[in-house]
Amino acid sequence: MTQIWLIEAIGWAGAAMILLAYLMLSAGRLPARSMTYQGLNLAGAIAFVINSGWNGAIPSAALNVVWAAIAIFALIRMAKATS
């Protein structure tokens, strides 16, 4: 029972992170090329992969693997641009 609760909490935390990133972007509080924006997307996507994979929602898990890969790609590009 505790494990199921933990997986659900991870999923809800992931949803909150992605929604917060989008809200901050839409409100003009974060640029798309910020480490914070991409980091929130990455962490949220990883949380969704854990939750949806556990629950057998393979299309959602696959989408979020790609979402995380895009965030990693953006973070790497930003890190290279600053070095």
Mean pLDDT for each 10-residue chunk of the chain (83 residues)?
92 98 98 97 98 97 98 97 88
- φ and ψ of 28, to 5 deg: 80, 15
pLDDT of residue 2: 87
> For residues 47 and 14, is the Cβ–Cβ distance under 8 A?
yes
> In terms of residue numbers, what domain contains 74?
2-82
pLDDT of residue 32: 95
Paired tokens of 19: 């929604």
pTM (two decimals): 0.93
Closest CA to 15 of 45, 38, 60: 45
Number of structural domains in the chain: 1
